[in-house]
Structures are given as structure tokens and as C-alpha cells.
Amino acid sequence: MSLRGRSRTRAWAALGLLAVALAGCSSTSTVAFRCDAVVNEGLLLTIDLVQVNEGEAAQIRQEGARWFYSPLRQQLALRTRTLAVKGGCIQSVSLTPQKGYDILAIVADYRTAPSDRVEGLMQFRTRKEWQGQSLEVLVRSAYLTVQEAR
């Protein structure tokens, strides 16, 4: 085989490897936000999407409403996607799962929220529930809910 033929073979092999690698990345997820007409008393609402492991998820739960002011949030900043939404929003983001982090934490910073409604401020989804999926986050006036997109 000539030098030129070997170069082409190598190029095709490299393209094949690249295609296989990219196929493994097809687990990108879409998170769509749909907001009520008025949320967070008319103020912008900060929402964090954080990829974490089980221990970190437990720490976030423990922080509760203090999450947005905790040192833990700063420690996880590289795995955090922060959004600001307002009433009437329709917005989507794409997330690519990061290796070693099996939980997606969705945390909202409402100005006021019922103290008995912590689950409405923090939602957690396992990798199986969000990787490669389309999720819809319904942003209500003082809480949020997450469901699989239809």
C-alpha cells in the first residue's frame, strides 16, 4: 500500500473513532423551563442545575434554603449551571452529564416560600431519570415541579 493510501486509511480510522466517541456523548439532556405569569413575587428567580454525587446531594439537602449562600455552592461552581428566570418564561438549556456525578440537583432561590415545601425548592433526579431525557421544570409562584417532557 502506498504512503498516500495509508494516510487515507488512517484518516478514515480516525473519523470512525471520532464518530464512536461522539455517539457516546449523545446523552445530552434538555431542561425546559415554563414559568407562571408571576413567580418569586415578581423578582428574577435564580435556579441552579448542579451535577453531584450522593454525598453532595445530601449536603445540598442539609443546606436547604441556605444553599445559595453556602461555601458548598462555591465548591461546586464548576458543575453548576445558574439561570435567572422571570414570570412567563419559556427557556431551555442543554446539559451534558459529567462522569462520576449521578444526580442532577435543581435548586431555586425563592424570596419567600412555605417552610414545609422544601421539596418545591429543591428537586433531585438520578442519572437514569435525566440523562438523555427532556425534563420540564414548571416554575410556580413559590415552588417548582419537575416532570418528564411530553
Convert the pLDDT of each residue in 28-64 to its tens digit: 999 999 999 999 999 999 999 999 999 999 999 999 8
- Per-residue pLDDT tens over the stretch 95-144: 999 999 999 999 999 987 655 556 679 999 999 999 999 999 999 999 99
Query: Per the domain annotation, does 62 fall within a domain?
Result: yes
Decide if 43 is inside a domain: yes
- Is 127 a domain residue? yes
Q: Could you give phi then psi for residue 29, rounded to 5 degrees?
A: -110, 150
Residues 54-92: b if buried by 16+ CB within 10 A, e if exposed:
eebbebbeebeeebeebebbeebeebbeebebebebebe
Q: Work out how many domains the chain is built from and give that number.
A: 1
Provide the residue range defining the domain that includes 144.
27-148
| Bridge partners for 146 per DSSP | 137
Within a domain: 3: no
CATH assignment at residue 87: 2.60.40.4150
